[in-house]
């Protein structure tokens, strides 16, 4: 089944416009999802809309939006009244400005959409807008109404098309100073920094999302298979926290682990560490016995 567009309208740069459609660029459909069920009957549970005062169930057609203006007081707003708000961005993405991509803080990014031509009409106009954005090496800023809200959208060329990323408004972004103000100033010794840099260099590479592994999702699917097969599920044993004497000691042990191609001892599970020490003791006793025999 072909994907369904979240929005259809026009993309416009001054007097140049073309019909376009917006499609979500990401999806979480492949992730495992759960329903709520009745433990006693095994039947699925459905949520009911209940009047909090009378306790009666409310029919869907009797439910309207309400804005709280006081204790138990609301201003009702109907879908027709919301539709009557005449803002152009409901049907048109008007490009207002061009800005450097580096000036857009990642905190403002919400979600990406593919913006594609809606039919063959206006394809030339679409190509002009796409190519001029690419030529300027900047990001085009416009406005669009999605989910009954107006959003700022940043447009960038991607291959033969355009990607639009919804951006947050300033009032939606929290001030980092409120969270970082109590972090004290720490001067890191030079030798500590050198060890840390070495660890970073050994782990440096290139961004490759194909190497991302959702270990929790894999474990969840494995759990569901075992449950379907009637296997008993035992709680997993949690690894014990390692006893690190000092930050410097932890850095040294990390570097030693990277050089030997093994995980640092502090990162390995205690059971593995004990089994390794037992194997070493056995080898030492065996070597000693062979020396005596010879």
- Look at residue 169 in the predicted model and tell me its pLDDT: 95
Q: Can you give the pLDDT at residue 163?
A: 97
Give every strand in the sheet of 139-146, ordered side by side.
92-94, 7-13, 16-24, 109-117, 161-167, 149-158, 139-146, 97-99
CA dihedral 123, 129, 133, 135 (to 10 degrees): 80
pTM equals: 0.70
CA distance 247 to 10: 57
pLDDT of residue 244: 57
pLDDT the model gives residue 220: 78
Residue 149 is predicted with a pLDDT of 85
Which residues in the chain land under pLDDT 70?
1-2, 86, 88, 239, 241-245, 260-294
Single out the residue of 90, 64, 74 nearest to residue 148, CA to CA. Answer: 90
Output the pLDDT for position 56. Answer: 92
C-beta separation of 43 from 61 below 8 A: no
Residue 47 is given by DSSP the state -
Quote the pLDDT of residue 86: 60
Specify the pLDDT at position 253: 79
Q: The dihedral of CA 120, 123, 126, 127: what is its sign? A: positive
- What is the per-residue pLDDT across 26-60, written as a single tens digit (0 to 9) for each? 888 888 888 899 999 999 998 889 998 898 999 98
Q: What is the pLDDT of residue 27?
A: 85
Q: What is the pLDDT of residue 214?
A: 74
pLDDT at position 204, please?
85
3-class DSSP state of 58: coil
Domains along the chain with CATH numbers: 7-30+84-172 (2.40.290.10), 186-199+244-275 (no CATH)
CB of 19 closer than 8 Å to CB of 122 = yes
């Amino acid at each position: 089944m072909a994907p369904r567009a979240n929005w259809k309208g026009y993309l416009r740069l001054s007097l140049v416009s073309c019909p376009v459609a917006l499609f979500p660029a990401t999806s979480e459909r492949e992730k495992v999802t759960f329903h709520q069920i009745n433990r006693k009957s095994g039947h699925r549970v459905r949520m009911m809309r209940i009047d909090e005062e009378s306790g009666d169930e409310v029919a869907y057609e009797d439910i309207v939006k309400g804005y709280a203006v006081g204790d138990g007081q609301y201003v009702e707003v109907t879908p027709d009244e919301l539709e009557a708000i005449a803002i152009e961005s409901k049907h048109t993405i008007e490009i207002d400005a061009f800005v450097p991509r580096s000036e857009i803080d990642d905190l403002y990014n919400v979600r990406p959409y593919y913006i594609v031509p809606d039919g063959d009409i206006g394809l030339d106009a679409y190509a002009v807008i796409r190519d001029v954005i690419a030529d300027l090496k900047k990001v085009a800023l416009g406005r669009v109404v999605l989910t009954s809200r107006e959003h700022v959208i940043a447009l960038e060329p991607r291959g033969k098309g355009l990607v639009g990323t919804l951006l947050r408004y300033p009032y939606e972004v929290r001030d980092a100073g409120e969270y970082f103000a109590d972090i004290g100033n720490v001067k890191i010794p030079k030798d500590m920094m050198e060890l840390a840099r070495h660890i970073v260099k050994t782990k440096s590479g290139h961004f490759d999302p194909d190497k991302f592994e959702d270990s929790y999702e894999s474990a969840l699917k494995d759990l569901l298979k075992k449950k379907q097969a009637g296997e008993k599920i035992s709680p997993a044993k949690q690894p014990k926290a390692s006893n690190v004497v000092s930050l410097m000691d932890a850095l040294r042990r990390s570097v030693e682990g990277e050089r030997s191609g093994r995980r640092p001892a502090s990162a390995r599970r205690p059971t593995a560490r004990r089994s390794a020490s037992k194997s070493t003791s056995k080898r030492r006793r065996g070597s000693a016995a062979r020396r005596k025999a010879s």
